[in-house]
Amino acid sequence: MRLFERIEAQLEKLPERPFWPRPSPLDFTTNDYLALQADGIIAEILRGFPAELWRGSGASRYLGGDHPAYHHLENLLHEKYGQPALLFPSGFVANITLWEALAQRGDTIIYDREVHASIRQGLRLSLAQAWGFPHNDWEAAEKLLRQARGETFLVVESLYSMRGDMPDPEALRYLQARYECHLILDEAHTTLIYPDGETWAHHHGLNPLLTLITFGKAVGLMGAALLAPPLLHTYLQRRCIGTIYSTALPPLIAAAVAQVFAQARAWLPRQTQLWQTVALLRKRLSAEGIPFLGLQGPIAMVKTPAAGIPLKRLSPPTVPEPMYRLSLHANHTQQDIETLVRALKVGMNQL
């Protein structure tokens, strides 16, 4: 088949994917969990920087694009999280380029099948064997771990964006100790949502080999960092193509991300508010008999649309059955939650 005929045939099967600006005034869609964007905090931070920073990086950090702002951010993250940090232009780039460098032929990667598309694509670039287990099914994961050969990696997320649930920290602790596997955690959706910016892993007393934190969600900007032990950090810095062969973030962004992390204590009222809102919505949905999944963090999945409030509708294979995803933010008021619950009830009755 000629290329354009083939593409036309494929397009017929693909649902439309419209671009979607931030809903206003009620945003239950974006990942601005701490509302640092919505409340103008990010704008204020950006405005505070001198003109010297108002530019792109110009190149990869290894080709004239390095800037003190990246070192400042990496040092700050190192100090904060106790492990050296390596910056990436995005979480997507980090995940897609990590595995080719980290795992080798003869190794085994065991991953939750619901991990982000960037991890799944990244695993395809590695020569190691990669085995998926059904979402949060620890017995299935253990069966695979028993058969694993070589260096063994166990890959999970701290909060699943299309489910709203988390892995069981006890199961991870057990599997890590019993099988001496390397735990790799993608913390994209939990970055900065715990007091003082503590990681989900630290919050639960876990000790992953590698942690991905991202700056495009609660942090309100963009970019990502891998936190790794010193030897692995040095190795990835020399070997991981996502950080070597890609234009570095604009220094302004790195400087602003650093400022957000430097002020992590100031976000405590927002973090507290966010978790209270999570608890409130859980209580209200249960009380109103509205079925939901997730809400172990600020993400919920509901089966019904919310009348008048735009929610992202997800279809299989992203989710097992059609669902609407909603995310909670620190600036949602009790009244906003009531508006949402009422809209979901109306949506439920219209089905």
Ligand X SMILES: Cc1ncc(COP(=O)(O)O)c(C=O)c1O
Binding site for ligand X (CB under 6 A): 90-92, 95, 116, 118, 157, 161, 186, 188-189, 214, 216, 224
CB of 162 to ligand X, least distance (A): 8
For tokens 């009830």, the residue is 345
Is 294 or 347 the residue whose CB approaches ligand X more closely?
A: 294
Residue 184 Cβ vs ligand X, minimum distance, rounded to whole Å = 12
* Burial class of residue 212 in the structure, from the number of CB atoms within 10 Å of its CB (0-12 exposed, 13-18 middle, 19+ buried): buried
Residues 6 or more apart in contact with residue 40 via CB below 8 angstroms? none
Length of the chain: 351
- Smallest gap, in angstroms, from Cβ of residue 318 to ligand X? 12
Report the candidate in 257, 126, 127 with the shortest Cα–Cα distance to residue 192.
Answer: 257
How is residue 150 written in tokens? 């070589």
Cβ closest to ligand X, residue 134 vs residue 269: 134
Min CB(350)–ligand X separation in Å: 30
Q: Minimum CB separation from ligand X for residue 5, in Å? A: 33
Considering beta carbons, is residue 141 or 348 the nearer one to ligand X?
Answer: 141
Looking at beta carbons only, is 27 or 157 nearer to ligand X? 157
CA atoms of 324 and 162, how far apart (whole Å): 9
Residue nearest to ligand X (CB): 91
* Per-position DSSP letters for 182-248, written without gaps between them: EEEEE-TTTTT-SGGG--HHHHTT---SEEEEESSSTTSS--EEEE--HHHHHHHHHH-HHHHSSPP
Q: Calculate the CA 283 to chain-centre distance.
A: 25
Q: Which residue, 108 or 158, has its beta carbon nearer to ligand X?
A: 158
Residue 201 burial by CB count (10 A; 0-12/13-18/19+): exposed, middle or buried? buried
Shortest gap between Cβ of 119 and ligand X (angstroms)? 7
Q: Give the residue from 209, 336, 257, 312 showing the smallest Cα distance to 90.
A: 257
Order of strands, sheet of 323-327, starting from the edge strand that comes earlier in the sequence: 292-294, 299-302, 323-327, 312-314
Residue 188 or 337: the one with the smaller Cβ distance to ligand X is: 188
Closest separation in Å from C-beta 214 to ligand X: 4
Of 223 and 347, nearer to ligand X (C-beta) is: 223
CB 157 to ligand X: min, Å: 5
Nearer to ligand X, 159 or 281 (CB): 159
Annotate 41-98 with three-state secondary structure.
Answer: HHHHHHHCCCHHHCCCCCCCCCCCCCCHHHHHHHHHHHHHHCCCEEEECCHHHHHHHH
